[in-house]
Amino acid sequence: MIEIGIEVDLFHPTETVWRALTEPALLTKWFAESVPQADQPERLLLRTAGLPGFDGDVEATVVEQEAPQRYVLDCQEGAGHSRLTCQLVPAGHGCRLLLQEVLVHGEWDAERRARRTEHHQQAVTVRLPAILDWLAFQRVDLRRAEGGLTAELPVVRLVGDVRTRAGRRRAVVIGGGLAFLALAGAAVWATRPEPHVPDAAPPSAPLLLPTATSHTPRSTPSRTTPAVVRTSATPSPTPTPSPTPTRTRSASPTPAAPLTASYRTVSERLFGYRGYRGEVVVSNPGSAAKPGWAVVVTLGAGATISGDADGANWRQDGQVVTFTGAEVPAGGSTTFRFDVRDRNPDVHAPQSCTIDGSPCAMR
């Protein structure tokens, strides 16, 4: 059975995300154009023809709806039949969306499945967060209590390097203020009173004395004035050599403690089918932060990573999957999870796990 599974963290409450999943007008903005059927409110026509991984439009029927947690659609696309499930799980930052599409009848070749996965991933990680940010912005009263235009703006996570109009306005105001301070500082510097400086001696005065018969006026600095080297009437005493300082060998720095990692299987079923979900905790027992790490996991033959890893970047080369992450603070830890599709129903863990070349603790 062919399936597509994607998991994403959204920084918005489940009620807002539920609206984006179930209201046809909002579904049109991030997934596909949605046309509800007037006589059958539980049915939708999704204009997916021409989208990546779709051969035609989809006739969708709502078969399960548990607000605001679970939304299930039966999708008929020509001779193909699939089931699309959206599950919302509340989290401290907002909620987590689990999107799964399972092919019930028909065929998807590898290219079509990859393109369909790409469409779903773009929809839930790029377009859906943008719509959620837009809905959150609509609830803000910019005129409340006669505050400034930016006094009530929420802090939202933007995808990519996109600046809002308010952000550009704020940048202009800040830039103008900095420019004003720079001009004011330049004006104060230019109008300050000049400090009194005594007449300086000629450049050669500290080392050379001019002769009484060869005085050269300052007005002709291009001519060279003969001079004699200043001598002392009393001979200089012989300098006493200073004692050679004794060098002390500094103690060798204590080597930094290596990172450690532990692996455990948190679920032995992947979306109800063959596979498992693994979790790795990377710990830094040392007293200094570590700039980065690499965890290498070896899967069973034919096993693959499904969707994205939560908390790490990854790449797979055959059975070997390399996970990488950012800095781990001193005495701290970081956790990442990943889903594995394995055709062998008796396999619920990878063959091996190492961090920076050292074995992980298997729990």
Which pair of tokens denotes residue 338? 């990943």
pLDDT above 70 (res 16): yes
Question: If pLDDT is split at 50, 70 and 90, which confidence band does 81 have?
Answer: very high
For 173-208, write each residue's pLDDT tens digit.
344 444 444 444 444 444 455 544 445 444 444 444
Q: Which residue has the tokens 């839930």?
A: 124
What three-state secondary structure class fits 264? strand
Q: What is the CATH number of domain 3-138?
A: 3.30.530.20
* Helices and strands, counts by H and E, the chain: 5, 19
What is the pLDDT averaged over residues 330-346? 89
**Domains of the chain, residue spans:** 3-138, 260-362
| 150-164 as b/e: b if 16+ CB within 10 A | eeeeeeeeeeeeeee
Q: Find the helix or strand (DSSP H, E) in which 168 lies.
A: helix 165-191
Integer Cα distance of 261 and 334 in angstroms: 10
> Residue 13 pLDDT > 80, yes or no?
yes
Please give the pLDDT value at position 246. 54
Asked if CATH classification 2.60.40.290 holds for the domain at 260-362, the reply, yes or no, is yes
Local structure of 130: helix, strand or coil: helix
Tell me the two tokens of residue 61.
């029927």
Between 101-105, 255-259, 352-356, the lowest mean confidence (pLDDT) is in 255-259
Q: What is the mean pLDDT of the chain?
A: 76
Residue 125 has pLDDT above 50, yes or no: yes
The pLDDT assigned to 315 comes to: 92
pTM, rounded to two decimals: 0.42
Which three-class secondary structure state does DSSP give residue 180?
helix
Question: Cα separations (Å) of 7 from 19, 32, 99, 273, 341?
Answer: 18, 19, 6, 16, 15
Give the per-residue pLDDT at 308: 74
The pLDDT assigned to 358 comes to: 93
| Statement: residue 354 has pLDDT above 90 | yes
- More confident of the two residues 310 and 178: 310
Whether the pLDDT of residue 51 is over 80: the answer is: yes
pLDDT above 70: percentage of residues in the chain: 66
Question: Coil, helix or strand for 359?
Answer: strand
More confident residue, 199 or 21: 21
Residues 116-135, mean pLDDT to the nearest whole number: 92
CA distances 83 to 6, 22, 350, Å, are 14, 16, 29
pLDDT surpasses 90 at 139 = no
What is the predicted pLDDT for the residue at 363? 86
Cα 229–chain centre separation: 68
Q: What is the pLDDT of residue 158?
A: 36
Alpha-carbon 137 to chain mean position:
23
Q: Looking at residue 28, what is its pLDDT? A: 93
- Looking at per-residue pLDDT, the higher value among 224 and 309 belongs to 309
Tokens of 349: 């863990």
